[in-house]
Structure 1
Amino acid sequence: MSRLALPGQARGFASSFAVVPAAQLSAAAAALAATEIEQLRRPDLPAQSVAVDAQHAAFEASGYFTLGGEQPDMWAPISGLYACGQAVGAPGWVRIHANFDHHRDGALALLGLPTGPDTERAAVEQALQHWRADDLETQAVAKGLPIAAARSTAQWQALGHEQVLALQELVAITRIGDAPPLAWPSLGDGQRPLAGLRVLDLSRIIAGPVAGRTLAAHGADVMLVNGPHLPNIEAIADTSRGKRSAQVDLRMAGGKKVLRDLAAQSHVFLQAYRPGALAAKGFAAQDVAQMRPGVVVAELSAYGWQGPWAGRRGFDSLVQTATGIQEDEARARGQNKPRPLPVQVLDYSAGFLLACGIQAALLRQAREGGSWQVRVTLAGVARWLRSLGPVAVQAQEWDQPRPDITPYLETVDSGFGRMRAVRHCAVLARTAPGWERAAMPPGTDAPHW
């Protein structure tokens, strides 16, 4: 008999892509991996079954939460989709991601507009009438700015990067060094499967933090590590649930030593910075494996480490735009303007899948020894989402209201205020996932285990 159940149907999340099954499957994969780790640690216990409800998975992937009864605005005023005067293909659109001030100011400067928060969206719309979408994207990439031109699927595939992704595994797990199996602390009765396993989480935007939060839900001791000078997005309040929250300044020699000491005592080193960024500071995967032989180094990026788009800055919404997903979604509804998916499923599925891969690598380390690297890309998840096949949507389903979210919420006091947020969607037969630590602002905890 299967240990996995994927019950229910989700209302209010209509899409021509299998967004809800993708969220269900990826969350279930992470949960099943946790039960496999429990089997290794406690062979005297029966293997747990796992269930992931479709509506619950959809709500978790929506990223819904409130603070003090208010739902934070997740997008900066000039972030979003714009029509260009000329473009890659008619009618021509670009998406600007400006949630960080330096990205906003970079985009405004590129458009010849005053930088700062006072420039309004209308000014951006007017400036873009003098640009081709592909020219803007090219110049933005040269400046390291997260801006993407909207493409059709055929246009995306013609660029050649999709062919590189096709040669890579959705979750790539590679042995990167020799080491004996690491001893894990004993797992007591009633403890969650990952209890006692230490995870350093050096990620700030949604997918990486979701991976760390998922591991925390299954009992891991997760420490979120931020830089004191780095900006964060509003979602940090939600994705910090279950984690310690520390700050380490890698611009300083002392900060690098602190991170090396933390890595030397960790089972997992998770990071989602742009490829090469941490390596330049001495924390490439091989460097971390030398600090902690037997470590699992998990890495997430937008487009990956090989191919013509390798190393580009990108976020879920930009990957949807660039790879043709949003154009296909619009056409399915009979529209011309690119249409985003109803949830940021690339982020959430990538986070869940990365959590699954981390646990698979932990199992290999425990059985075979070695140091391991796990890699996931948003573009690879986009390719996987497309491989799940199209979904036929009836006209009346596009605007179907969502059901009451209340049954899926938990209410807790946090360092950000009174929070209501979606519980983790995976249900295990014996050890219910959950977060014992409340979300706290960066720097609340000391950077030591």
Structure 2
Amino acid sequence: MSGALSHIRVLDLSRVLAGPWAGQILADLGAEVLKVERPGTGDDTRHWGPPFLRGANGENTSEAAYYLCANRNKKSLTVDFTQAEGQRIIRDLAAQSDILLENFKVGGLAAYGLDYASLREINPRLIYCSITGFGQDGPYAQRPGYDFMIQGLGGLMSLTGRSAGEEGAGPIKVGVALVDILTGLYAATSVLAALAHRDQSGLGQYIDLALLDVQVACLANQAQNYLTSGVAPCRIGNAHPNIVPYQDFPSADGDFILTVGNDGQFRRFCEVAGHGEWASDPRFATNQSRVIHRDVLIPLIRQVTVFKTTAEWIAALEVAGVPCGPINDLAKVFDDPQVQARGLKLVLPHPLAGSVPQVASPIRLSLTPVEYRNAPPLLGEHTDAVLAERLGLGTATIAELRERQVI
């Protein structure tokens, strides 16, 4: 079966995470993604290690794990588009492409004739997606934007961390570059919408995506809580601002998570906990009352949960239909039978290491399933093939370009 996007070609000028994440999604769905990198150095994340992929003899290769997480199914070609010949190569490839992804600073590609206005002239069907920290306009447009900075500026770190007054209180970033990942998801969604529009109109369009915009949009219920009440939410650790009990609790051998979503689940939890009277207490009978009286209820629950192990709580609560779960490290995540059953770890052949582990795409399409065609490419691995097949350049011409360090 061909992938859903097997008829689409993507020219990916982006680097680090947000743009490459979008490119990998499109590549997994079958698109041909040409990853353009700087000769000699490539994507910054190739060097963001350790850890690095280990070779057959246990030695470190040049491939950082960070780079490997976001560049599967792509072809890598190296082009120096600060040179006129390099600009010509990019323009010729853009003329044949459906989508262009880039995350240079605002106006950064205009000097090379690779901005949307220039490329639209040679390919009106081109969908051009720009990813920046703050967008193409506004007082911050020229500032560089990085995930950690945006998590702070965009409000996420005001919500993440222990409550004021607790030991270890203070702002905490999310443990992965979540804003970059979410921006990559929004980029892929935007591109697919633009493709659908092009099917009707025949025209491409420009997409302006900003990390800050994505961060604020993804505050979701917390943003709406503020806009509705006028009260800025504060950090409350692992608790939920609108649902109680919905947080971690100590057990006899660690901790577990209890996620009670409605009053019926709360009643069943109380029965398992041996305190059926809590469910009829007017302070706890409804979620609204539990939210108001959380300072009373949560200590009562904590006094009970410490008398059983995490496994015992999970076994009892699952039988009662009360949502709960452990707090796993990544070793336990990939050992989990559900994770294994869903095939979330996969292995692809790799020219340096023999094989490379990967995390599978969560997208499950019945007719056009995700394809795992190749591992994240070596730097410039496909330069000669792409220039020959797509642009018709001969061996001598390619050798001359390489000698002049254009590629």
Aligned residues: 260
The percentage of counterpart residues that share the same residue type is: 26
Q: Name the SS of the counterpart of 1:404 in structure 2.
A: helix
Q: Name the SS of the counterpart of 2:69 in structure 1.
A: helix
User: How far did 1:237 drift?
Assistant: 2.1
Q: Distance in 2 between matches of 1:312 and 1:253?
A: 27
User: How far did 1:442 drift?
Assistant: 1.9
Corresponding letter in the other structure for 2:349? D
- Look up the match of 2:357: 420
Q: 2:33 aligns with which of 222, 226, 247?
A: 222
Q: How is 1:205-284 mapped onto 2 (pairs within 5 angstroms)?
A: 205-228=16-39, 230=41, 232-233=44-45, 234=64, 235-284=66-115
Summarize the Cα distance change of 1:319–1:216 in structure 2 as closer, same or farther, 3 Å threshold: same
Higher relative contact order (CA 8 A, sep 6+): 1
Structure 2 gap segments, 5+ residues each: 46-63, 226-238, 241-245, 250-255, 258-325, 391-407
TM-score (norm 1): 0.55
Summarize the Cα distance change of 1:364–1:416 in structure 2 as closer, same or farther, 3 Å threshold: farther
Q: Name the SS of the counterpart of 1:222 in structure 2.
A: strand
Q: Name the SS of the counterpart of 1:362 in structure 2.
A: helix
Q: Distance in 1 between matches of 2:11 and 2:372?
A: 16
User: How far did 1:360 drift?
Assistant: 0.9
- Look up the match of 2:267: none
User: How far did 1:229 drift?
Assistant: 5.1
Q: Distance in 1 between matches of 2:188 and 2:99?
A: 11
Q: Does 1:401 align with 2:328?
A: yes
Q: Distance in 1 between matches of 2:137 and 2:208?
A: 12
User: How far did 1:214 drift?
Assistant: 0.3
- Rg: which structure is higher? 2
User: How far did 1:195 drift?
Assistant: 0.6
Summarize the Cα distance change of 1:277–1:354 in structure 2 as closer, same or farther, 3 Å threshold: same
Summarize the Cα distance change of 1:435–1:388 in structure 2 as closer, same or farther, 3 Å threshold: farther
User: How far did 1:431 drift?
Assistant: 2.0
Contact 2:182 2:214 in 1 (8 A): yes
Summarize the Cα distance change of 1:263–1:401 in structure 2 as closer, same or farther, 3 Å threshold: same
Contact 1:416 1:440 in 2 (8 A): no
User: How far did 1:421 drift?
Assistant: 1.5
User: How far did 1:318 drift?
Assistant: 1.8
CA RMSD of aligned residues (A): 2.1
- Look up the match of 1:137: none
Q: Name the SS of the counterpart of 2:327 in structure 1.
A: coil
Q: Distance in 1 between matches of 2:152 and 2:348?
A: 35
User: How far did 1:300 drift?
Assistant: 0.7
Q: Does 1:367 align with 2:200?
A: yes
- Look up the match of 1:87: none
Deviations 1:366-396, CA, capped at 9 Å, x for gaps: 2112231112211111111112438715243
Q: Distance in 2 between matches of 1:282 and 1:308?
A: 25
Structure 1 gap segments, 5+ residues each: 1-189
Q: Name the SS of the counterpart of 2:209 in structure 1.
A: strand
Q: Distance in 2 between matches of 1:377 and 1:415?
A: 36
User: How far did 1:230 drift?
Assistant: 4.7
- Look up the match of 1:10: none
Contact 1:415 1:439 in 2 (8 A): no
Deviations 1:322-376, CA, capped at 9 Å, x for gaps: 2232232124584433211133221111111111111111111121122311122
Q: Distance in 2 between matches of 1:436 and 1:260?
A: 27
Contact 2:349 2:374 in 1 (8 A): no
TM-score (norm 2): 0.60
Corresponding letter in the other structure for 1:201? D
- Look up the match of 1:384: 217
Q: Distance in 1 between matches of 2:68 and 2:120?
A: 31
Corresponding letter in the other structure for 1:410? L
Q: Name the SS of the counterpart of 2:218 in structure 1.
A: helix
Deviations 1:185-225, CA, capped at 9 Å, x for gaps: xxxxx211111211001111101001010001111011100
- Look up the match of 1:430: 367
- Look up the match of 1:345: 178
Q: How is 1:39-438 mapped onto 2 (pairs within 5 angstroms)?
A: 190-228=1-39, 230=41, 232-233=44-45, 234=64, 235-332=66-163, 334=166, 335-389=168-222, 392=240, 394-396=247-249, 400-402=327-329, 403-406=332-335, 407=340, 408-415=344-351, 417=353, 418-438=355-375
Q: Distance in 1 between matches of 2:356 and 2:221?
A: 35
